[in-house]
Amino acid sequence: MVTKRLENAFDQASTLPASEQEQLASWILEELKTERRWSHSFATSGEKLVGLAEEALREHAAGESEELDPDKL
């Protein structure tokens, strides 16, 4: 199912010269691929982030952390 807005965009794109249509298609496909990679990365990173957070809390509780000084970054 295609939304009206996407259908409108495709209709307008179809009036472009073939070379510009190819460029647009390549860009759209690359954007979709990148979006899928980001979605997958976020979906699978939750456990890693929890582990890193727990490690940081343990280090802080053990006095192994120090206050961040933005001027030293």
Q: What DSSP character marks residue 70?
A: G
Condensed to tens digits (0 to 9), the pLDDT of residues 31-45 reads 999 999 999 988 889
Per DSSP, 62 falls in state T
Q: What is the pTM of this model?
A: 0.59
Indicate the helix (H) or strand (E) that contains 58. helix 46-61
If one counts every other C-beta atom within 10 angstroms of the C-beta of residue 21, the result is 14
Tell me the mean pLDDT in the region 37-63.
93
Please report, as a single letter, which amino acid is at residue 8: N
* pLDDT reported for residue 43: 87
Confidence of residue 47 (pLDDT cuts 50, 70, 90): confident
φ, ψ of residue 9 to 5 degrees: the values are -65, -45
What percentage of residues in the chain have a pLDDT greater than 70?
Answer: 100
